[in-house]
A and B are shown apart, each in its own frame.
Chain A
């Protein structure tokens, strides 16, 4: 059974801190790993990673994938209250031509002013 595990489940930090969110996976036919941010309703796309060791960066957010150890991390530096959200990790799987995402349970990040 395909599995995506995120940790921690919940994290509370002060504004300005740096946080690291973790995502590990055990799947067959791995294609990609995606990170999403969910504030109130619809998740919004952050990154898609397909190659090991290549960091993707967008402002204060960055992410990297390790396909040997089967995990990814999402870093947020100099956190702001607007970073408070649920961060979802999803793994793209291909199964006989059927492409789908399997999501982890998410990490709820709360930034205290």
Chain B
């Protein structure tokens, strides 16, 4: 079964703790993306990576970090520096080609920080 998996589905953390969200894909896609979605808002881009060992900041990268050591995996760490981390986090992947390819989304992780 090809697709994108995110784990866990729900995550609860105390303020001040770092937390890492997992994203794995077996679609052989080159590019991977992390978005954040808040109630009543669209998706906002946190980080993206078009090739292994390289990534770029999106529009709201402050307080987050990523790594891309393998093509299949793009974990996101929400650090204690992120002021308002409670949100729904979506990971996506796509082919990397000129013209911006369609992105496929994982099921998301809902993070609650108290």
Q: Which A residues have a C-beta under 8 Å from some C-beta of B? A: 4, 6, 31-32, 34, 41-45, 48, 50, 88, 90, 92-94, 98-106
Contacts and interface: CB of A to CB of B under 8 A. Distances in A.
Interface residues of B, number: 28
Interface of B: 31, 33, 35, 40-45, 48, 50, 56, 58-59, 90, 96-108
Nearest to B44: A103
Contacts, number: 67
Contacts of A93: 100
Q: Chain B's interface: helix, strand, loop or mixed, by majority?
A: loop
Nearest to B4: A42
Given A41-B107, A41-B108, A105-B42, A98 B56 contact: yes
Given A103-B44, A105-B42, A92 B108 contact: no
A96 B45 CA distance: 17
Nearest to A94: B100
B33 A100 contact: yes
